């Protein structure tokens, strides 16, 4: 599967802050099945929603338009 260059660029910026970040979720399924992509899910380790919000704030100072990031869709998960 060929990952779009924009995705790899976005992922590299996230990995500069969270090295273990990966792309996952429905975007990969939709890409593999030649469907329209609604959003891109990037999974990172974070102990709390506050830490993940801090990541969002740090990314918004870079080359990303983070206005489309929905804070209701930042989900902390277990270890």
When pLDDT is cut at 50, 70 and 90, the band that residue 29 belongs to is very high
Whole-model pTM: value is 0.69
Task: Give CA–CA dist 70/20, Å, rounded.
Answer: 22
For 8-20, what is each residue's pLDDT tens digit? 988 888 888 888 8
Q: Please list the alpha-helical segments (H only) found in the chain.
A: 5-17, 26-32, 49-60
Task: Give CA–CA dist 38/40, Å, rounded.
Answer: 7
Tokens 């804070």, located at residue: 71
- Say what the pLDDT of residue 36 is: 93
> pLDDT at residue 43 above 90?
no
- Say what the pLDDT of residue 20 is: 84
What is the percentage of the chain residues whose pLDDT exceeds 90?
15
List of residues 6+ apart from 36 with CB closer than 8 A: 30
């Amino acid at each position: 599967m060929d990952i779009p260059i924009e995705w790899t660029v976005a992922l590299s910026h996230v990995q500069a802050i969270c090295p273990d970040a990966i792309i996952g979720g429905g975007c990969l399924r939709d890409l593999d099945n030649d469907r329209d992509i609604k959003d891109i899910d990037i999974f990172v380790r974070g102990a709390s929603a506050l830490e993940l919000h801090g990541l969002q704030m740090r990314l918004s100072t870079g080359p990303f338009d983070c206005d489309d990031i929905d804070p209701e869709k930042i989900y902390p998960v277990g270890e």
